[in-house]
Structure formats: structure tokens, C-alpha cells
Amino acid sequence: MLRSLLGHDVVLLPVVHGQKRPMISGWQHKTSEDMQDADYLATLSNGNIGVLLGAPSGNLCAIDIDDDAAVEPFLELNPNLRNTLRSRGSRGQQMWLRITGEYPALSPLTTSDGEPWGEWRASGAQSVIYGVHPTGTNYQFIHEVPPIEVRFEDIVWPDNLELPWSHDESDALIQEFGPPWIISKGDSIQLNHTYWVQHYLTEHYIVYDSTLQDFFEYDAETGLWKRKLEEHIQRKFNANLTQAANDNDLPRLHCLNTAGNAGALLNGLRIEVAQEDVFVERRTEAIHVPNGMLCREGNEFVLKTHSPEFYSRNMRLCIR
């Protein structure tokens, strides 16, 4: 039924019952070929069902709105979206779209006041469409029709949203920290280390705990802060320089892709994000479970969304 509704090129994912987490590793790499495998299809009958979004599913994407009150104003701006598939978990709505042309990857959406509004869900994301929501309610269809085709640039967004794709991060970094490299009158080239450290921080939520003497990066998939090996960070700096050299047709940049420069950039990053006892001083009192954070409010526990601000490094798999 879901394939006839979403399209036969859709890639469905087995998800843990009552949760949003796929029950298989490497789910980001599933393809339509897996949907021809009877054994794989059998796994879809044991719990919730998610949809792999973006290119693997024929550019099927979704707009996830968190708040019920924000749904109708958005539909007033986009009346054509009343005619697309719309579903609901416990609150808000999810609008499913076939995007023609280019579109951004997964992007969280916040208001200009910094309040969460929802997400643009595309390549790199999955969304649950069938089963039981972590709150105990069933996922339901608000408007059960196939997703309509739209161009991403035709979507009208509320004026109070900060749209990640509307900003050129490179231009903003250059304006604040200077150009990524400097070519002298003698034609030598030198890296602006501050630029590259800040560039790394636009792509990674990372801290260095000076007490533990380790880097930790936030994993949005699990809500956990995980150890990040220094070698992995250095390789990412090297990869960023290689891409910049290729994108700008500047072969001389490859000469700066050295262990010495990678080490210097790593040290600059360490200084920038170092904190002492961060997972002790800033850890919020809460129980980390697979589908959120259990926080005590008075005599009750309230389930809140995973967030880096909890500074959690360990998950409780079950509670008795």
C-alpha cells in the first residue's frame, strides 16, 4: 500500500517499533534494488516503517513542521501543498513532495528568534510514515494522496524563518575571518588557519574536553557526544583543502596539504573549542533513551527531543 502511494521507486526502511530509529545499520545506503529482495521486504513487517528520502527514493522529500499552529499559515503561503500527501506523528504535520530539479540536503529550520520550527528533510534523512510514534500515538495520514511534484524554489517559506540554504557560508566566513588563503606579491601562497578552523565548525558540532584530553563530536542520529579521533579531523582538513584546490583550479593549494598544516589546523581547532570538564560541568540531569531525553519536571518525567545541550555520552537502553 505504501509503495503504491509513495511510488514504486521509494526505499522503505524497517524502524524499531514505537521509535524513529532504523533497526538496520547502513540504512543511508539502501537502494531500490533492496526493495526487490523478499528477505528485506519481510523486515518491514516487524515494526514501524521509515522512508529513505532524497535521491535514493526518486527525489521524494518532506517538510516536517513541529507545531500544529504553524501548519495552516504555511499552507496559506503554499495552497498547492494542500493537495499533496500529508501525515502526522504526535503534532504538526509532514508534507511529502516529489522535487524536480535541485534541492538542499537535510536542514533543520528555526525562527529568527532561534526557536525550532521543523526540518527540510531530503538526502541524508529518513522519516517514519507508518507505525507507532514514540509518544504512543499512531502515525496517520491527514491527506492520503500521492506526493505532488514541485520545484524547491517554488516553495514559499515564512518570513520569520532562518533558511540555511539562503546564505553563502563561504562569503560569511570570508567577511568575518578573511580569505581562506593569501597569495603574496612573490606568488607564494599561505593558508589562513582561522578561516579553515571556522569552516570546519560550520560542518561539525565538536568540543575538546581538556580534562579527558579528547575531541567529542555530537551525533544528531543518536543524540550522543562521541569521541572523535584526531586523525579523522586531520583527514577532513586535508579533504577540504583538496576540494578547494579542485573547485578553484588552484593546483598550488595541493602543496599545502601536508601533515604539518593539518596538525597546525588541529591545534587551532583544539584551542577554539577547548573546555574543561564539559561533560561534568554542563551535563543536564536527564536519562538518555533511544527516542529522547527523560527530564524530571516536578514529580513527573517529560520526554524531550535529543539535543547537544544535554551533553550526554551514554544511552540507557531500557528502564525498569
Asked whether residue 113 falls in the same domain as residue 175, the answer is no
Across the chain, what does the average pLDDT equal?
Answer: 91
pLDDT value at residue 180: 93
What is the CB-side half-sphere exposure of residue 241 using CA atoms within 13 A?
27
Q: Inform me whether the pLDDT recorded for 137 exceeds 60.
A: yes
Say how far apart CA 93 and CA 257 lie, in whole Å.
46
pLDDT value at residue 169: 61
DSSP state at residue 188: -
Asked whether residue 150 falls in the same domain as residue 212, the answer is no
Q: Inform me whether the pLDDT recorded for 320 exceeds 60.
A: no
Q: Inform me whether the pLDDT recorded for 237 exceeds 50.
A: yes
Asked whether residue 94 falls in the same domain as residue 229, the answer is no
pLDDT value at residue 305: 85
Q: Inform me whether the pLDDT recorded for 319 exceeds 60.
A: no
pLDDT value at residue 130: 95
**Contact indicator for 217, 278 with CB cutoff of 8 Å:** no
- Alpha carbon 299 to chain centroid, angstroms: 33
Residue 141 in any domain: the answer is: yes
Asked whether residue 155 falls in the same domain as residue 201, the answer is no
Q: Which of 24-28, 61-65, 172-176 has the lowest mean pLDDT?
A: 172-176
Asked whether residue 171 falls in the same domain as residue 298, the answer is no
Q: Which residues contact 82 (CB under 8 A, 6 or more apart)?
A: 75, 143
Please name the amino acid found at residue 201.
L
Say how far apart CA 10 and CA 49 lie, in whole Å.
12
Asked whether residue 153 falls in the same domain as residue 11, the answer is yes
Residue 317 in any domain: the answer is: no
pLDDT tens readout for residues 149-183: 999 999 999 999 988 887 556 677 887 888 999 88
Please name the amino acid found at residue 143.
H
248-266 mean pLDDT: 92
In the three-class reduction of DSSP (H, G, I as helix; E, B as strand; rest coil), residue 159 is classed as coil
130-155 mean pLDDT: 95
Q: Inform me whether the pLDDT recorded for 42 exceeds 60.
A: yes
CATH of the domain at 114: 3.30.2250
pLDDT value at residue 168: 58
Count of the separate structural domains present in the chain: 3
Range of the structural domain that residue 7 is part of: 2-165
Q: Which of 64, 52, 160 is nearest to 112 (CA)?
A: 160
- Alpha carbon 152 to chain centroid, angstroms: 18
* φ, ψ at 33 (rounded to 5°): -65, -35
pLDDT value at residue 160: 92
pLDDT value at residue 152: 94
Q: Name the pTM for this structure.
A: 0.56
Q: What percent of the chain has pLDDT over 70?
A: 97
Asked whether residue 107 falls in the same domain as residue 27, the answer is yes
pLDDT tens readout for residues 192-231: 999 999 999 988 999 999 999 999 999 988 899 999 999 9
DSSP states along 29-90: G--TTGGG-HHHHHHTTSSEEEEE-BGGGTSEEEEEE--HHHHHHHHHH-GGGGGS-EEESS
- Structural domain ending residue among the three candidates 165, 183, 203: 165
